[in-house]
Amino acid sequence: MKRIDSEDPRVTAYALGELPEHEAAELRRVAEKHPAVQAALDETRALGGLIRGGFSSESLELGEARREAIRRAGRSPDPENLVSIQSRRRDWFRPAAVAAAAALVACVLWMMQQIPVGENEFVREATEAEQREVVRMQILLSSTPRSARPIAGGTTPLPRASEEEAYPILPEVPSEIVDEEYLALRELWQKDPDAFFARVRSAAREINLPVLSRMAFLADNPFVSTREEARSTVPIVSGTASYHLVERFIRNEKRLPPRNSVRTEELINQVSYPDEGDADLDGIKLGIEIVRCPWDRELTLLGVLLRNESGRVIAEDAVLQVEVDPEFVGSYRLIGYAGRSVPEGEDGVSGGLSPGKSNYVLYQFRPSSPEIFNVERVVARVSLSVGAEGSELIVPVTTPSRDWDLASNNLQTAAALATWGMVLRQSPFGGPLTHLHIREFAEDALHGSDSSDLRRREALQLILDSLPLFEIEPEENEN
């Protein structure tokens, strides 16, 4: 065994219990004869004990790779560099180093005590910011914030999404974060609807795709028996986030969007629908149109157009309803608004309809018997009530239904976007709908549209551009 002195790295290895037994026995023999070696060994053990004691509650053990690196760094490369055991020339150095190390350890321990164990503020703040971003995205990409109605005592309830829209994929997010983000966005919607929809468009373009894939899929509204419920409250406004999401997938990613990102009503209302001589109530226009359903001749399609030409936002003082006569209509279905059917007696407002804006809503009617819609009769009424004074406008829905070829361009456009949305969603109510129907409806609406209505034409062209993504068969095999 090579000679050992107080600076030999084997002193440290022995103190750490890592020296082979034959070398450890020799080192003990040398330490008994040479006080300097014994003193170095005692100091090393003391320093190691201090460090282990200070960090006993922390998992700071060196890995084997680091231990080996330290041992290699302490080894002398050549045997001749080892010196004989003799009195140390720097007897003051090791005690000073031990004292300095002890002071450093004490300082580190004190600093660590100032940090709450298990609650690092930086991590917590980052987690909360991430949670808020996800919640904000989901609110913007789901329905627009509902307006809060007064309750007893004059207080206003905190706006919350329905149970079906209450972010089931984020159970780890505290409810106060959801409430705060929902309230902030509702206030933005009430103060500046245009700014709100700008945020919606931005969210649709920037949403993280894994977050989108985790959003819950809401089932389409079913047919409702008129014997059980003859009155339906019509939604007055819808968002447009889904359209921008669909456009992003088709234009940028060249693939169809996930089912859960498609909201049929938001595809329909990406387009603005002009007034076509509809009934008027203080600058608020209400129009209806009833035609044979072009993809299912056993059904009738009802279009309800609400357009705001007044100088104020149509908000919580407005109620729009369709009341169906059970004698003539067996059941009806609201197209779109998945998971958002509004029960009787509640308003259909989700924030309000701004001046110059419109909202188009489609219903499917199933007649109580096939011949019902062949003669002239009133089968339903659409009513609009606005203001505390109860100003009301009632428009009758009369048959016989017009044929699809005579439908207005407004209804043709809405139906093309609606059927496109149902196929993208793989709706069980799509019936016989195929890409051939979608192409036909979109082309008819596009040919009949005004050349100056660029937004309408762009939306219809997007439908046509998406058809190759459905993996349709070649043109010659389609007949």
Q: 466 and 319 in one domain?
A: yes
| Counted domains in the chain | 3
Does any domain span residue 451?
yes
> The tokens 């020799």 sit on which residue?
26
Structure tokens of 190? Answer: 């009430």
Which residue, among 236, 239, 293, has the nearest Cα to 262 in the 3D structure?
239
Does any domain span residue 293?
yes
Write down the pLDDT at residue 102: 59
352, 314 Cβ separation under 8 angstroms: yes
Q: 387 and 281 in one domain?
A: yes
Strand, coil or helix: what is 348? coil
How far does CA 283 lie from the centroid of its chain? 36
Write down the pLDDT at residue 176: 76
Q: 228 and 170 in one domain?
A: no
Write down the pLDDT at residue 153: 29
Does any domain span residue 281?
yes
Q: 392 and 244 in one domain?
A: yes
Q: 22 and 57 in one domain?
A: yes
Radius of gyration, CA atoms only, the chain = 37
Does any domain span residue 121?
no
Does any domain span residue 37?
yes
Q: 275 and 183 in one domain?
A: no
| Calpha distance 52→355 (Å, rounded) | 72
Q: 446 and 391 in one domain?
A: yes
Q: 458 and 345 in one domain?
A: yes
Per-residue pLDDT of the chain in tens (479 residues, 90 and over written 9): 456 776 777 777 777 777 777 777 787 888 888 888 788 778 777 776 666 655 554 444 555 555 555 555 555 455 444 444 344 444 455 555 555 555 555 555 555 555 454 445 444 555 777 677 777 777 777 654 443 333 222 333 333 333 334 334 455 677 777 777 778 887 787 777 777 777 777 776 666 666 666 667 788 999 999 999 999 999 888 888 899 999 999 998 898 998 888 999 999 999 999 887 788 888 899 999 999 999 998 999 999 999 998 888 887 678 899 999 999 999 999 999 987 654 443 444 445 788 888 999 999 999 998 888 888 999 999 999 887 666 789 999 999 989 999 999 999 999 999 999 999 999 999 888 888 889 999 999 999 999 999 999 999 999 999 999 987 444 443 43
Q: Alpha carbon of 387 to those of 242, 377, 393: distances in Å?
A: 31, 31, 12
Write down the pLDDT at residue 391: 79
Which residue, among 247, 121, 141, 155, has the nearest Cα to 196 in the 3D structure?
141
Q: 77 and 192 in one domain?
A: no
| Calpha distance 180→198 (Å, rounded) | 20
438, 423 Cβ separation under 8 angstroms: yes
Does any domain span residue 340?
yes
Entry pTM: 0.62
Write down the pLDDT at residue 307: 92
Q: 282 and 198 in one domain?
A: no
Q: Sign of the CA dihedral 306, 309, 310, 313?
A: positive
241, 203 Cβ separation under 8 angstroms: yes
380, 329 Cβ separation under 8 angstroms: yes
**Which residues are CB-contacts of 146 (< 8 A; sequence separation ≥ 6)?**
159, 161, 186, 349, 350, 351
| Calpha distance 2→10 (Å, rounded) | 10
Q: Domain span at residue 186?
A: 129-147+159-214
Write down the pLDDT at residue 377: 92
Q: What is the DSSP letter of 353?
A: B
Write down the pLDDT at residue 266: 93
Q: 169 and 249 in one domain?
A: no
Does any domain span residue 244?
yes
189, 144 Cβ separation under 8 angstroms: yes
Does any domain span residue 31?
yes
Q: 167 and 267 in one domain?
A: no
